[in-house]
C-alpha cells in the first residue's frame, strides 16, 4: 500500500493550471448546448419536418410521366381512314439528372446526327423547377436510330426515350386544306375561355377540321407515377391512369372523288409544272362536300411533330401561297361561268326572251369603244340557248346593259355570290358583287355603262370563290334552293357513341322561277353535250352532264394579245373555269374547277371536272351505262 503525504500531493498539483478547474463548468455548459442544438435540430428534421422532407425525397425518386391522349380518327363518308394516330418514339433529357452534360450532348449529337450545340440550346440553362422538367430533343425516330440510342442509355444518365402519339395523314397532302394542321396552342388562345383547360406546349388543331372539331378530337391525357434510380432510369411503376382517345369525326368527303380530283391537278407530262387552282365537288341537294382541292398544297404530316423553322419559312414565303385554301378564300373573276346567272336574271326580269335573237359580228360597240367577243369572226344571230352553248359575249353584253348593274347584283346575291356560303371553316372570303353605290363609296366615282358590259361576262370588279360558284350552280340544278355546304356527316364521342352531324340546311331560295331555271339547265346541258358546246371535254359515257366554261382575264396586256399562251408569263395568264352538274336531267352532284393561270376553261378545267364526274358515275350509275363509248370532244374556245 502506497501512502501519499501532503508533500507528495503538493508536487502532483504543482503542474495543473488552477484556471482550468474554474473553466470546466463553462465548457460543460457549451458542450451541453451544442448537443442540445443537435438534438433540437434532429427533432425538427425527423419529427416536425419529417413528412415534408419525405415528400421532397419522393419527388426525387418518384416522377409523374404525362401520357398524351391519341387524337380521334377522321374518316370519309364510307368509313375509310383519312387521319389517325400512330406511335412516335423520341429522346428527351432531364437536366437535373445529367451527370456529364458535355458527354451526353456529344454522344446524342452523334447518335441523332444533330448539331451538338443545337441540342444544348434546346435544353438551355435550366434552373429551379425547370431542371426537373424533361426536354424533348427529337421525335419520330426510326427503329434503327431508336435502338442505337437505347443501347447507350446505360452510360447517359438523364437521357431517356419515350413514345408519344403522333398524328398521321394517310394521303399526305391530299385534302390538306380541308383537314388542316396541328400546332402548339398560342398564348392568345390560352387567354380565352375556350382553352382554359390547356397549358403551354399542348398541340391543338390550328386550321381546317382539326381546328373545327378540336374539342372532340382532343381526348383526355393520362399519367403514370414511376420510380427512377440515380441515373434516371425507370425501375418501378407505382400507378397509372390510361389516356382516353379523342372522339372520331366522319366527314362528308368521298375519298374516291377526292383521289380523282387530286389526280386531275397532276402535271400533264413529265417536266411540266404542277397545276394550280381549286376544286369543289358538292351534293346539290344536301350541300355535302364530296371533294375539296387547293393547289399548291402542303403535307400536314410536317406539322404533326412540330413544324421546323425551315419548313415554315418555305411555306409562308412561297410566291404561290400553298397554305391558302383557294377553294374558300381564293377570289377570282368568274368569267363566262357568270353568264348562267345573267341569263336567269334577265329572263326573270323579262329584258330578254328565250327566242329573242341578238346578232354577234364579233364585237359590241358602246359609244366610241368596242368590246370583243372571244370568237373574232362572230357567232351570227344568237338565241339565249345558243348564246349559252357557244358562250357568245356579245349576247350577254346586250342582256347585261338591259338589266343594269344594280338589278344584276340583286340576283347575283340571291344565288349566294358576294357573301359567305356558311361553310364551317375559318378564312372563307365573301367575294364581291359590285353596285353603283359600292363604286361611289369605294372610289368616289359614278358607275359607267362600260363597267356593266364587263360585269355581264364576269369581268371587271366581280370576284367569286370556287365554293360560291358551286353553291350557285347547285341552286340552278336543284330548282332554286341555296344550300349551306356541310363537312361533317357524323361524330363519335370517346365512348364510341355516334352523334349526328349538322343537318342539311337550305339558307334561302333564288329570286328566279323554276321555269326559267329549267331553260338555263337545258342550255347548260348543250354546253357539254352538243357539238358546238364549249364544254365537250367534260362528257362522261352513259351520263348527261350540264356545265359552263369560263376564262377569266387576270390583267389586260395589249402587247401580249398576239402571243401564244406559253409565251405569256405565268402570273399574267388567264384563269380557267368550269362548273358542271350531273346527271343533267336529275342533278345530284356539282363540280366547280378553277385552273389558276390555266388558260381556257374548256381545255384546262373541264377535263379535271370530267375525272370527278366519271368516278362519281362509276359508283352511282347503272353498270349498263358504263359500257357506252365516250364521244370525241370538239375543239373549244372559252
233-262, pLDDT tens digit by residue? 666 777 878 888 889 999 999 999 999 999
Return the pLDDT at 55: 58
Q: What is the rounded distance in angstroms from the CA atom of residue 314 to the CA atom of residue 256?
A: 31
- Cα 410 from Cα 402, distance rounded (Å): 14
Which among 370, 465, 371, 486 is positioned nearest to 417, based on CA atoms? 465
- Residue 502 confidence (pLDDT) above 50: yes
Mean pLDDT value across the chain: 86
**What is the model's pLDDT at position 394?**
97
The confidence band for 26, taking pLDDT boundaries of 50, 70 and 90, is confident
- Of 146-160, 314-328, 359-373, 407-421, least confident by mean pLDDT is 146-160
Going by pLDDT thresholds of 50, 70 and 90, the confidence category of residue 455 is very high
Q: What pLDDT was estimated at residue 128? A: 62
Cβ 69 vs Cβ 165: under 8 Å:
yes
What pLDDT shows up at residue 132? Answer: 66
State the pLDDT at residue 595. Answer: 93
Per-residue confidence (pLDDT) for residue 17, from 0 to 100: 63
pLDDT band at residue 563 under the 50/70/90 scheme? low
44 has a pLDDT exceeding 50 = yes
Residue indicated by cell numbers 380523282: 260
The answer to whether 431 and 469 have CB atoms below 8 angstroms apart is no
Alpha-carbon span 546 to 540, nearest angstrom? 11
Q: Give the residues across from 288 on adjacent strands.
A: 486
| Cα–Cα distance for residue pair 140/161, rounded to 1 Å | 11
Q: What value does the mean pLDDT take over residues 627-636?
A: 45
For residues 506 and 481, the answer to whether their CB atoms sit within 8 Å is: yes
Would you place residue 633 in the very low, low, confident or very high pLDDT band (cuts 50, 70, 90)?
Answer: very low
Q: Does the model's pTM come out above 0.85?
A: no
Three-state secondary-structure class, residue 39: helix
**568-615 residue pLDDT tens:** 777 778 889 999 999 999 999 999 999 998 888 889 999 999 999 999
Distances, alpha carbon 204 to alpha carbons 69, 201, 207, 218, 490, in Å = 12, 9, 9, 8, 21
- pLDDT band of residue 42 (cuts 50, 70, 90) is confident
Q: Which three cell numbers stand for residue 449?
A: 355603262
Catalytic positions: 336
- CATH code 3.90.1310.10 region(s) in the chain: 63-88+160-251
Give yes or no for a contact between 214 and 204, defined as CB atoms under 8 angstroms apart. yes
Range in 31-35, 175-179, 388-392, 489-493 with the lowest mean pLDDT: 31-35
- pLDDT band per the 50, 70, 90 thresholds, residue 457: very high
Q: Grid cell 405569256 — which residue?
A: 568
- Mean pLDDT, residues 328-345: 97
Residue whose C-alpha cell is 341537294: 285
Greater model confidence, 388 or 143: 388
Distance CA 166, CA 65 (A): 17
Interacting residues of 598 by C-beta distance below 8 A, sequence separation 6+: 275, 276, 277, 573, 574, 575, 576, 604, 605
Query: What HEC string does 427-449 produce?
Result: CCCCCECCCHHHHHHHHCCCCCH
Is 627's pLDDT higher than 50? no
The pLDDT value given to residue 2: 47
Q: How confident is the model at residue 208 (pLDDT cuts 50, 70, 90)?
A: very high
Checking if the pLDDT of 499 tops 80, the result is yes
User: Position of cell 440515380?
Assistant: 230
Over residues 409-419, mean pLDDT:
97
Contacts of 595 (CB under 8 A, 6+ apart): 275, 276, 277, 575, 576, 577, 601, 604, 605, 608
Indicate if the pLDDT at residue 388 is higher than 90. Answer: yes
Find the mean pLDDT for residues 626-636. Answer: 45
Residue 514 has pLDDT above 70, yes or no: yes
Top CATH class of 63-88+160-251 equals alpha beta
Alpha-helical segments (H) within 404-483: 405-414, 436-443, 449-455, 466-478
Q: What is 260-627's CATH number, 1.10.600.10, 3.20.20.70, 3.40.50.720, 3.40.710.10?
A: 3.40.710.10
Give the chain's count of helices (H) and strands (E).
23, 23
Lowest mean pLDDT among 16-30, 371-385, 527-541: 16-30
Residue 361: all three cell numbers together: 359580228
Bridge partners (DSSP) listed for residue 167? 85
pLDDT band, very low/low/confident/very high, at 566 (cuts 50, 70, 90):
low
Q: Rounded mean pLDDT of 147-175?
A: 87
Using DSSP's 3-state secondary structure scheme, residue 593 falls into: strand
Where do you find CATH 3.40.710.10 in the chain? Answer: 260-627
pLDDT digits (tens, 9 = 90+) for 76-107: 999 999 999 998 888 888 787 787 888 888 88
Q: What are residue 182's phi and psi, to 5 degrees?
A: -100, 160
According to the model, what pLDDT value does residue 624 have? Answer: 42
Strand pairing category for 81-93 and 159-169: antiparallel
**Tell me, what's the pLDDT at 142?**
81
- Where would I find the beta strands (DSSP E) of 338-423? 358-360, 363-366, 369-372, 380-382
Q: Could you give the CA distance from residue 456 to residue 446 in angstroms, rounded to a whole number?
A: 18
Amino acid at each position: 500500500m502506497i501512502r501519499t503525504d501532503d508533500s507528495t500531493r503538493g508536487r502532483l498539483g504543482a503542474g495543473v493550471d488552477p484556471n482550468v478547474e474554474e473553466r470546466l463548468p463553462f465548457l460543460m455548459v457549451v458542450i451541453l448546448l451544442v448537443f442540445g442544438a443537435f438534438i433540437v435540430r434532429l427533432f425538427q428534421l425527423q419529427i416536425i419536418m419529417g413528412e415534408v422532407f419525405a415528400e421532397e425525397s419522393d419527388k426525387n425518386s418518384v416522377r409523374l410521366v404525362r401520357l398524351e391522349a391519341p387524337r380521334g380518327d377522321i374518316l370519309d363518308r364510307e368509313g375509310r381512314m383519312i387521319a389517325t394516330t400512330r406511335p412516335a418514339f423520341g429522346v428527351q433529357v432531364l437536366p437535373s439528372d445529367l451527370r456529364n452534360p458535355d458527354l451526353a450532348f456529344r454522344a446524342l449529337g452523334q447518335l441523332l446526327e444533330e448539331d451538338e450545340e443545337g441540342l444544348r440550346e434546346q435544353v438551355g440553362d435550366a434552373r429551379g423547377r425547370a431542371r426537373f422538367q424533361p426536354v424533348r430533343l427529337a421525335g419520330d425516330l426510326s427503329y434503327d436510330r431508336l435502338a442505337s440510342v437505347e443501347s447507350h442509355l446505360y452510360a447517359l444518365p438523364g437521357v431517356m426515350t419515350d413514345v408519344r402519339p403522333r398524328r398521321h395523314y394517310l394521303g399526305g397532302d391530299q385534302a390538306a386544306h380541308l383537314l388542316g394542321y396541328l400546332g402548339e396552342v398560342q398564348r392568345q388562345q390560352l387567354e380565352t375561355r375556350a382553352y382554359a383547360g390547356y397549358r403551354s406546349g399542348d398541340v391543338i388543331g390550328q386550321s381546317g377540321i382539326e381546328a373545327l372539331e378540336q374539342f372532340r378530337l382532343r381526348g383526355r391525357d393520362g399519367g403514370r407515377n414511376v420510380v427512377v434510380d440515380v441515373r434516371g432510369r425507370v425501375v418501378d411503376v407505382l400507378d397509372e391512369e390510361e389516356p382516353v382517345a379523342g372522339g372520331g369525326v366522319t366527314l362528308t368527303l368521298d375519298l374516291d372523288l377526292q383521289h380523282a380530283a387530286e389526280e386531275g391537278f397532276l402535271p400533264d407530262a413529265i417536266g411540266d409544272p404542277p397545276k394550280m387552282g381549286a376544286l369543289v365537288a358538292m351534293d346539290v341537294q344536301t350541300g355535302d362536300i364530296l371533294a375539296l382541292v387547293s393547289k399548291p398544297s402542303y403535307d400536314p404530316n410536317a406539322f404533326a411533330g412540330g413544324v421546323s423553322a425551315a419548313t415554315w419559312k418555305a411555306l409562308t414565303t412561297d410566291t404561290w401561297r400553298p397554305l391558302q385554301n383557294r377553294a374558300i378564300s381564293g377570289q377570282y373573276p368568274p368569267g363566262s361561268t357568270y353568264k348562267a346567272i345573267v341569263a336567269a336574271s334577265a329572263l326573270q326580269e323579262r329584258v330578254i326572251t328565250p327566242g329573242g335573237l341578238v346578232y354577234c359580228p364579233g364585237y359590241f360597240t358602246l359609244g366610241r369603244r368596242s368590246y370583243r367577243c372571244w370568237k373574232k369572226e362572230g357567232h351570227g344571230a344568237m338565241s339565249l340557248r345558243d348564246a349559252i352553248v357557244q358562250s357568245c359575249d356579245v349576247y350577254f353584253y346586250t342582256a347585261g346593259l338591259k338589266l343594269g348593274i344594280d338589278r344584276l347584283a340583286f340576283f347575283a346575291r340571291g344565288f349566294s355570290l358576294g357573301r359567305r356560303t356558311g361553310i364551317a371553316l375559318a378564312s372563307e372570303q365573301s367575294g364581291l358583287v359590285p353596285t353603283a353605290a359600292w363604286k361611289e363609296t369605294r372610289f368616289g366615282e359614278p358607275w359607267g355603262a362600260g363597267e356593266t358590259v364587263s360585269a355581264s361576262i364576269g369581268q371587271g370588279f366581280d370576284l367569286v370563290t370556287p365554293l360560291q360558284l358551286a353553291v350557285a350552280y347547285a341552286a340552278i340544278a336543284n330548282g332554286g334552293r341555296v344550300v349551306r355546304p356541310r363537312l361533317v356527316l357524323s361524330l363519335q364521342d370517346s365512348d364510341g357513341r355516334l352523334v349526328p352531324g349538322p343537318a342539311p340546311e337550305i339558307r334561302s331560295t333564288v329570286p328566279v322561277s323554276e321555269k326559267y331555271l329549267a331553260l338555263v339547265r337545258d342550255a347548260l346541258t348543250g354546253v357539254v353535250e352538243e357539238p358546238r358546246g364549249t364544254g365537250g371535254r367534260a362528257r362522261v359515257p352513259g351520263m348527261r352532264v350540264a356545265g359552263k366554261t369560263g376564262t377569266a382575264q387576270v390583267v389586260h396586256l395589249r402587247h401580249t394579245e398576239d402571243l401564244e399562251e406559253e409565251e405569256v408569263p405565268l402570273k399574267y395568264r388567264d384563269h380557267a373555269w368550269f362548273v358542271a352538274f350531273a346527271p343533267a336531267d336529275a342533278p345530284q352532284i356539282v363540280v366547280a374547277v378553277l385552273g389558276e393561270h390555266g388558260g381556257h376553261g374548256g381545255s384546262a378545267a373541264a377535263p379535271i371536272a370530267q375525272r370527278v364526274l366519271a368516278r362519281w358515275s362509276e359508283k352511282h350509275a347503272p353498270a349498263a351505262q358504263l359500257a357506252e363509248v365516250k364521244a370525241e370532244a370538239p375543239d373549244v374556245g372559252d
